[in-house]
Each structure stands twice: as C-alpha cells, then as structure tokens.
C-alpha cells in the first residue's frame, strides 16, 4: 500500500488515479498509524511553502517523515513536496522546511514567463526510477519556484528554464520530483511504475 499524505495541500486525485491505473493501491490519510502500515509514502502538494510547513507540523508529520527516512522507507515528494525537502524557500523566508537539503528554493528570475508551465526536457542520471525513460524526455511542470542544483550525488535529474534547476533530487530512498509525473503522459506513468516496482521489490526483500 502506498500512503498519500493528506495535509490539505492541493489536489491528490490525479496522483491516486495514476497509481490505480498502474495497479498500485493507495490510501489518502493523515493518520500516523495508517501511514505506518504503508510501505511507501507520497508527499504531494500544490500551494505555498509556508502554509504547507505549518500543516505538516500541526499534524506531527515532520518528525514522522524523518523517522520513516531513517528506517529506509521510500518517500516520493511531488512539486511542492520536493520543495518541502529543502530548508528554506524565498516564497516564505520565515518558514523552515524538512531540511533534507540545505539549499534555498528560489523564485524564477524575471524576464521569463512565470509560472514555468508546460512540458520541458529532463536529463536524468542512471537510476531505477528512470528505467525505460529516454534521456531528454518531456515532463509536465507547473511551478514558480525552483530547487537550485544540489551536489551531484543528490541531484538525479536536471531541467533548464532560463536557469538550470533540479528536476529530481534523491537522498537514500527519498525522491523529490519538481514535475508532475501523474500529468506527464507515458513518461510520467513509466516513472510511477518504476517507483511502485522499487517499493514492491524492497518489500519482498524485507519479508
């Protein structure tokens, strides 16, 4: 079971639909006991950094996510979910995120259309998450803030929109995606299928 974290931020219908289409069961919940029974967690999110941080804290999810990371659980952050993995964001400078990454989320510089909305090419390094997905495949983005490039080890994929930015970050079994795989057609479905299979095979090793 894949647990979709319910913290009131944005639309999760499509993420659940995509997993269901691929044959993976999901549950939408904010109950820690229910999340405990899930082999992987998805942190979706659309909206502002600061209010997302507040909601996660209010629901006791900050410490909970850290605990699951330490146990090696698979965690997938999507869009704002990725941004919450960082320490700070220019969107709400007073809020402190989950801080798995030390960089600060930045707003796209002026001179280009913001939001960065539409399909852009993603160049990924070797990782099971990108198995079967061609180099430079297009994914769907809709965001005004971006994660700067991190160190080579944690940066799995990059994209360019005036500036180079991190399209996918990775730390252990925690993955953050700036694009929306659930809206990225075939490439996005393949990526979610890869994620689901990684989770399943880890389960089989464990039991």
Partner 1 sequence: MLAKRIIPCLDVKEGRVVKGVQFVDLKDAGDPVEFAGFYNKEGADELVFLDITASYEQRETMIEVARRTAKEVFIPFTVGGGIGAIEQIRNILHAGADKISLNTAAVENPELIREGARIFGSQCIVVAIDARWNEQIQDWEVYTHGGRKGTGISALAWAARVESLGAGEILLTSMDADGGQAGYDIPLTRAVCEKVSIPVIASGGAGKMEDFARVLTEGKADAALAASVFHYRHFSIREVKEFLREQGVEVRL
For residues 23 and 112, give the distance between their C-alpha atoms in angstroms, rounded to a whole number: 39
Binding test (CB under 8 A) with partner 1, winner from 113, 128, 135, 201: 113
Binding test (CB under 8 A) with partner 1, winner from 60, 63, 67, 118: 118
**135 touches partner 1 (CB under 8 A):** no
**11 touches partner 1 (CB under 8 A):** yes
Active-site residue (options: 38, 79, 91, 159) = 79
* 91 belongs to the catalytic site: no
The answer to whether the Cα torsion of 91, 94, 98, 99 is positive or negative is positive
* 116 belongs to the catalytic site: no
- Phi, psi (deg, nearest 5) at residue 119: -100, 130
Q: For partner 1, which stretch binds (CB under 8 A), given 29-37, 56-64, 116-124, 168-176?
A: 116-124
**90 touches partner 1 (CB under 8 A):** no
- The 10 Å CB-count burial string (b at 16+, else e) for 81-105 is bbbbbbebbebbeebebbebbebeb
Please, which residues have CB within 8 angstroms of residue 180's CB and are 6 or more apart in sequence?
14, 78, 79, 139, 140, 141, 142, 188
Binding residues for partner 1, total number by CB under 8 A: 37
Site for partner 1, rule CB under 8 A? 10-11, 13-14, 17-18, 20-21, 46-48, 110, 112-121, 138, 140-144, 160-161, 180, 182-185, 188-189
Query: What are the residue numbers of the active site?
Result: 79, 180, 182
């Amino acid at each position: 079971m894949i647990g979709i974290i319910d913290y009131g931020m944005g639309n999760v219908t499509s993420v659940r639909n995509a997993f269901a289409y691929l044959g993976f069961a999901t549950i939408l919940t904010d109950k820690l006991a229910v999340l405990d029974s899930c082999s992987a967690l998805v942190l979706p999110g659309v909206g502002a950094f600061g209010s997302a941080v507040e909601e996660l804290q209010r629901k006791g999810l900050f410490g909970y996510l850290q605990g699951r990371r330490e146990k090696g659980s698979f965690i997938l952050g999507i869009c704002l979910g990725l941004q919450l993995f960082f320490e700070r964001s220019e969107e709400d400078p007073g809020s402190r995120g989950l801080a798995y990454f030390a960089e600060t989320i930045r707003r796209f510089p002026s001179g280009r259309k913001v939001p960065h909305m539409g399909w852009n090419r993603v160049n990924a390094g070797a990782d099971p998450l990108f198995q079967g997905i061609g180099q430079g495949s297009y994914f769907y983005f809709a965001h005004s803030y971006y994660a700067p490039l991190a160190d080579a080890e944690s940066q799995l994929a990059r994209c360019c929109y005036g500036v180079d930015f991190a399209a996918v970050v990775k730390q252990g079994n925690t993955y953050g995606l700036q694009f929306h795989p659930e809206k990225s057609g075939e490439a996005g479905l393949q990526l979610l299928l890869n994620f689901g299979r990684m989770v399943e095979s880890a389960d089989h090793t464990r039991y």
